[in-house]
């Protein structure tokens, strides 16, 4: 505890320095209703609280960063960045029993978001949305494992409805997609070829289950795969039904860097959707460029995250600010009315 009192202000100073330097670097427009200073007066310590808590969590187990980053991606791609992914009953949310195995989000990521929300709520009251907390947690999950720091616009609100299994499957690209399929899936979200390659770089951290890539091993090995890499994967997943997992980035699995692209150039990308970005002539040069220039990757990744992080957001009086990220306010013990009073207070104080 004593050391954290010294370290946190240092990090804050460092990151505001970096934020200051990178300010104005991204040309991605801010969606109406969101703003970089949304909680500046209503919850000035918001980012500090989130970074402080995640610093502790990730210092203890850096592999949790991947779960938090992926949670934001799944939230944004299905129905917009509205925390629908967190609701009980959502096809990828906490208590969904029949979520498809290929949508495996980490249970721990949901727990971390709940903890963050409780902390924020105890300091600022129920005024910060779960969707903003997910977005901020993803941002820290890039920065803390050595990735770039960037400011994100805030002011997202939480959905009243969850995503069905059908919506979830229709909107999240499966790992068996080739580049044509991926370009289409991303174009549906107004994300272009550079965004696709840059955002796929999220796979520089984290793990995948055998089920996500055994299509490349059995019944026949994917010819684009490096043989030693394939042999090792067959040890990890001896059959097409083995329950096991491995790192997405074989070179530096817990560091947010450009090694994912080096893997692809080396034919050591894990998923079809990863390796095909190097096979396909429309994306190959972008992969090679990122493999050679980490700063450019970081810059394009930030642009992609800012675009993805603002997909179909709810703003203003749309949706609500959940007091419990897993349930709609109306479905809790009438906590909803308390939130409305607080929201009115906040509006008045602006
Ligand atoms: C391009 C389309 C994408 C596909 C097809 C895809 C697919 C997958 C799959 C199949 C897994 C492994 C799941 C498992 O087996 O448990 C995974 C993991 C992951 N994905 Fe993606 N993904 C895509 C884009 C993204 C984006 C845009 C991000 C974030 C910027 C992201 C971040 C992650 C992370 C961090 C993990 C590791 C999660 C963990 O360790 O818990 N992915 N992805
Ligand atoms: C997930 O796997 C199921 C079979 O378990 C399959 O029907 C579905 O298309 C897959 N979806 C995604 C998004 O990977
Ligand atoms: C990509 O996959 C689709 C099926 O999802 C297939 O129709 C198409 O031919 C594939 N494209 C390439 C270039 O392999
Ligand atoms: C794609 O979007 C990025 C911003 O995310 C922009 O810099 C780039 O010019 C766009 N077009 C192409 C073809 O990459
Ligand atoms: C899981 O993977 C590890 C590492 O490759 C391997 O040693 C182990 O045998 C695998 N487990 C199963 C059940 O195949
Ligand atoms: C595993 O392989 C067997 C035999 O090739 C096949 O019948 C089965 O559908 C495969 N299972 C999965 C989950 O891919
Ligand atoms: C939030 O809701 C979930 C699901 O209904 C419940 O299990 C959990 O205890 C609630 N959390 C708090 C802090 O009330």
Instruction: Give the model confidence (pLDDT) of 96-121 as tens digits.
Output: 656 776 678 999 999 999 999 999 99
Asked whether residue 20 carries a pLDDT value surpassing 70, the answer given is no
In whole angstroms, what separates CA 117 from the centre of its chain?
A: 17
- Residue 314 lies inside a defined structural domain of this protein: no
Give the pTM.
0.91
- CB 58 within 8 Å of CB 141: yes
Average per-residue pLDDT for the chain: 89
Distance (Å, whole) CA 238 – CA 306: 40
- Residue 313 lies inside a defined structural domain of this protein: no
Query: Counting runs of H as helices and runs of E as strands, what totals does the chain give?
Result: 14, 2
263 shares a domain with 223: yes
269 shares a domain with 129: no
pLDDT tens by residue, 26-59: 899 999 999 999 999 999 999 999 999 999 999 9
Taking CB atoms and a 6 Å cutoff, what residues make up the pocket around ligand 7? Answer: 88, 324, 326-327
CA distances from 300 to 154, 264, 292, 293 (A): 20, 18, 14, 11
Q: Which domain holds residue 147?
A: 2-171+320-349
Active-site hit among 53, 74, 203, 267: 74
Q: Once rounded to an integer, what is the mean pLDDT over residues 197-212?
A: 98
Ligand 2 site-directed mutation target among 98, 100, 103, 177, most atoms within 8 Å of CB: 100
Asked whether residue 295 carries a pLDDT value surpassing 80, the answer given is yes
Asked whether residue 349 carries a pLDDT value surpassing 50, the answer given is no
Instruction: Kindly report the backbone phi and psi dihedral angles of residue 73, in degrees, each rounded to the nearest multiple of 5, phi listed first.
Output: -60, -50
- Residue 290 lies inside a defined structural domain of this protein: yes
- pLDDT, position 246: 98
To the query of whether residue 74 is one of the catalytic residues in this protein, the response is yes
Instruction: pLDDT band for 70, please (50, 70, 90 cuts).
Output: very high
Distance (Å, whole) CA 155 – CA 132: 7
259 shares a domain with 136: no
> Minimum mean pLDDT among 66-80, 152-166, 272-286, 306-320: which range?
152-166
- pLDDT, position 96: 60
Domain count, the chain: 2
- pLDDT, position 144: 97
336 shares a domain with 238: no
């Amino acid at each position: 505890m004593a050391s954290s009192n010294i370290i946190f202000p240092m990090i804050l100073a460092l990151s505001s320095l970096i934020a200051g330097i990178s300010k104005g670097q991204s040309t991605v427009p801010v969606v109406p209703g969101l703003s970089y200073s949304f909680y500046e007066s209503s919850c000035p310590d918001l980012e500090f609280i989130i970074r402080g808590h995640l610093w502790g969590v990730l210092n203890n187990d850096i592999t949790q960063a991947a779960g938090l980053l992926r949670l934001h991606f799944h939230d944004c791609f299905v129905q917009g960045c509205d925390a629908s992914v967190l609701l009980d009953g959502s096809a990828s949310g906490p208590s969904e029993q029949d979520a498809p195995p290929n949508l495996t989000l980490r249970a721990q990521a949901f727990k971390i978001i709940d903890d963050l929300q409780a902390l924020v709520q105890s300091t600022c009251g129920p005024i910060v949305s779960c969707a903003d907390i997910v977005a901020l947690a993803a941002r820290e999950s890039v920065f803390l494992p050595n990735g770039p720091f960037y400011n994100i616009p805030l002011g997202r609100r939480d959905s009243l409805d969850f995503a069905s299994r059908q919506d979830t499957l229709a909107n999240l690209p499966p790992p068996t997609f080739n580049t044509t399929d991926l370009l289409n899936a991303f174009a549906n979200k107004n994300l272009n070829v550079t965004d696709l390659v840059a955002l796929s770089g999220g796979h520089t951290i984290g793990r995948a289950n055998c089920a996500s890539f055994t299509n490349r091993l059995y019944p026949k090995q994917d010819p684009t795969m490096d043989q030693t890499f394939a042999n090792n994967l067959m040890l990890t997943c001896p059959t097409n039904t083995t329950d096991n997992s491995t790192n997405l980035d074989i070179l530096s699995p817990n560091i947010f860097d450009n090694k994912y692209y080096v893997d692809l150039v080396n034919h050591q990308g894990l998923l079809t959707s990863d390796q095909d970005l190097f096979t396909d002539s429309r994306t190959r040069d972008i992969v090679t460029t990122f493999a050679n220039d980490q700063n450019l990757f970081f810059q394009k990744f930030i642009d992609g995250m800012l675009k993805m992080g603002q997909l179909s957001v709810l703003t203003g009086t749309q949706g609500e600010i959940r007091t419990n990220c897993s349930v709609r306010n109306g479905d809790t013990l009438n906590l909803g009315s308390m939130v409305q009073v607080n929201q009115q207070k906040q509006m008045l104080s602006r």
